[in-house]
Amino acid sequence: MASNLLPEEIQAILELLPKGADHAPSGEVSSRDFHRPKRLSAEHRAALVEQVARIAPELERELQGALRGPLVFDLADLDEINSEGLFTDLQPPFAIVRFEVKGELGWATWDLPGAVAAIETSLGMPEVKEGKPRKLASVEKTMLKRLIAYPLQRLAKLWKLEVKDLRVVDIPEELGSWRDAGPTADAQRIAVHFGFKGPGGASNLRLFLPGVGVAPQPAPAPKKLQAAAQTPEHLSGVPFDVSVRLGAAEIVLADLLHLEIGDVIPLGSRTDEPLRLIVEDRVCADVRLGTRDGNLAAKIERARPRGREE
């Protein structure tokens, strides 16, 4: 391909590249599905990940106590998902704990072999090395709810969610859907994926939580007045008249001549609105009146661009 650059210019550009680099590095691009938009910012997701990672050791200790033995329980992933079609490919046997948060459905899934092994261990069976996927008995469903409740209730407390109506379902018709919440239903869920290594080997426990709102953002810092250019030394001591305009009223001469003590003159300024700070007949800022050391004082709330009177 022909180049419009001189050899010397090409060499100068090459010298700016990192040594040994054959081409400029490309930035990472993550795919997005605009039919299923995400509301979770990267910063919010990172904050949630940090929160869950911080409590994971505590959850691990609680499960070790329930299963009476060593195990590993840690955070594998956390993301926002759209729960439409979440269980489309699910095949029995399965055992899923469904629950509600303010009328919205959530679910907890555990790989069935791992769940069976953990349940059998918690019920007293010695050295369960492998769990067989099968339909759970009534007492086993109760135990599954108890085991799931450790991470579920801890996350609910962390994110101030009111979780209720936990029950184990093992047929597709009882799974429910995000649409069950009615016209205001929300398909978005926070999916928290834990890795489990214990009875039965390695397995995955996933919680799909509704109602995890966006983390409150800190209030923006008040805008500072733009620093003025450096004042010439010979002008730094020049005084300026600074005043606050309370308001004004137009009164015809006939009424003005008949004013008496006790008459009230509306000034046209509302008590809930800021007043104007005037420097040498120019409106420079909006202020609120107050007091300091027994004197009236003006607190600047907003600077006005030069020439803008509103």
Q: Where are the alpha helices (DSSP H) in 17-111?
A: 42-67
Same domain, 121 and 202: yes
Position 14 in a domain:
no
CATH number at residue 53: 3.40.1550.10
Same domain, 151 and 278: no
Position 197 in a domain:
yes
Its domain, for residue 278, covers 243-248+270-310
Tell me the pLDDT of the chain averaged across its residues.
Answer: 83
pLDDT score recorded for residue 218: 47
- The mean pLDDT of 237-242, rounded to a whole number, is 77
**What domain count does the chain have?**
2
Question: Per residue in 170-188, pLDDT tens?
Answer: 999 999 999 999 999 999 9
Angle of CA points 11, 12, 14, to nearest 5°: 65
**Nearest-CA neighbor of 195 among 66, 42, 53?**
53
Same domain, 95 and 183: yes
Same domain, 47 and 187: yes
Strands (E), 125-236: 163-169, 188-198, 201-209
Position 27 in a domain:
no
Same domain, 47 and 124: yes
Same domain, 290 and 173: no
Same domain, 204 and 294: no
39 in Cβ contact with 80 (< 8 Å): yes
Same domain, 152 and 301: no
Same domain, 91 and 196: yes
Residue where a domain stops, chosen among 184, 209, 234 = 209
- Rounded Cα–Cα distance for residues 225 and 219 (Å): 18
Position 13 in a domain:
no
Question: Per residue in 12-54, pLDDT tens?
Answer: 777 666 555 455 444 444 555 545 567 888 999 999 999 999 9
Least confident range of 4-13, 30-39, 94-103, 116-125: 30-39
Position 1 in a domain:
no
